[in-house]
Amino acid sequence: MPYDVLPTVHEVPENLDFSVDFETTKFDEKKYVINNETGDYLGVVGKGFNCASHKKFFDGVQNVMVDNIPDAMVDSTVRWSSARNNAWAMMDIVMPNVSTKIETDKHTTEVGQRIIALHGVDGSCSNQVFFGAIDFFCTNGMITGDYDKVKRKNTSNFCMSRFIDELNQSSLDFQEQSDKLKTWARTELPTYTNKGWNEVLSSITKSDQKAKKMLPLVQQEVSKRGRNVFALYSAFTNYASYADERNGFNLRNTGNDTRSQSMWAREHEVTKWVATPEFKKLAAA
């Protein structure tokens, strides 16, 4: 099928474009994973471990996307992330042509669909693809879907045929999630004192410390978007999108090159928060 504008296919960055080799260790049941371009030792895996290169995996995912959702891939953008000396990689594709408006009584924003693919060559993660959305107003990212489904996806291996089925369903899933966000934007939050907010946030995040640091973010989002559940959710996605002076949730510098993995873990943490009875009660008010 001819297109006036061709779907965008994104090149894997140079630091992730390398083949992988293996070398035996002194222990017969293990072997080293080696970056063939740099000679760096990336990890130790079981002797039966094997994997494709980052490029082969990410190119394969994109080719399937172009074949199945070509219109969505037009004008798409990508953000690459890596960790563990490039052994772990994430491709985060945003598709602005699949978007919707979220309106509150004080603010209007647009959210667009995103597809996130993970790949590891050191056994640190299985190959996975997730669906999500991004708020174009503040570039906060969010994984969409119920926590139980996200959790199951996070523990299952990637299957290309299942991914094709998910892609074909993705526009409907995005619309369903958008409708939920619109409902949250119309759902008013109760009026709490600071103490009340700390209690609510502690019950959702299961952390008194996080609740205390989250309160200024909630107040900031409420001042912009109004006193609604979507503003509360936006505070959570801010936490999952930034880790600096903008929100006060800095990451500790452990020197282990795991920042990107830690930020990805925060997105999963937020899906867990919105699945709590405490959040659901607010969303159903």
Predicted local confidence at residue 258, as pLDDT:
87
- Gap between the Cα atoms of 124 and 182, Å rounded: 37
Smallest Cα–Cα separation from 283: which of 194, 219, 190? 190
Predicted local confidence at residue 144, as pLDDT:
83
Q: Describe the crossing of helices 208-225 and 194-205 by its angle, rounded to 10 degrees.
A: 120
Predicted local confidence at residue 207, as pLDDT:
95
Q: Are 214 and 270 in contact (CB under 8 A)?
A: no
- Gap between the Cα atoms of 231 and 246, Å rounded: 17
- Token couple for 68: 């199945």
Write out the chain's pLDDT in tens, 285 residues: 445 678 989 999 999 999 999 999 999 999 999 999 999 999 999 999 999 999 999 999 999 999 999 999 999 999 999 999 999 999 999 999 999 999 999 999 999 999 999 999 998 888 899 999 999 999 899 998 776 777 777 777 788 888 999 998 888 899 999 999 999 999 999 999 999 999 999 999 999 999 999 999 999 999 999 999 999 999 999 999 998 888 888 888 776 688 999 999 999 999 999 999 999 999 997
Q: Describe the crossing of helices 259-273 and 147-154 by its angle, rounded to 10 degrees.
A: 150
Segment (H or E) for 134: strand 128-135
- Token couple for 195: 């103490």
Smallest Cα–Cα separation from 98: which of 53, 63, 136? 136
- Gap between the Cα atoms of 10 and 268, Å rounded: 25
Predicted local confidence at residue 1, as pLDDT:
43
Please list, in sequence order, all residues whose beta carbon lies within 8 angstroms of the beta carbon of residue 140, skipping any fewer than 6 positions away. 134, 234, 237, 238, 240, 241
- Token couple for 72: 């969505």
Which ranges of the chain would DSSP assign to H, the alpha helix?
A: 54-68, 70-73, 147-154, 160-186, 194-205, 208-225, 229-241, 259-273, 277-283
Q: What is the radius of gyration, based on Cα positions, of the chain?
A: 20
Specify the DSSP class assigned to residue 125: S
Side-chain half-sphere exposure of 194, counting CA atoms within 13 A: 6
Q: Are 219 and 227 in contact (CB under 8 A)?
A: no
Predicted local confidence at residue 4, as pLDDT:
66
Specify the DSSP class assigned to residue 138: T
Phi, psi (degrees; rounded to nearest 5) at 272: -70, -40
Predicted local confidence at residue 245, as pLDDT:
81
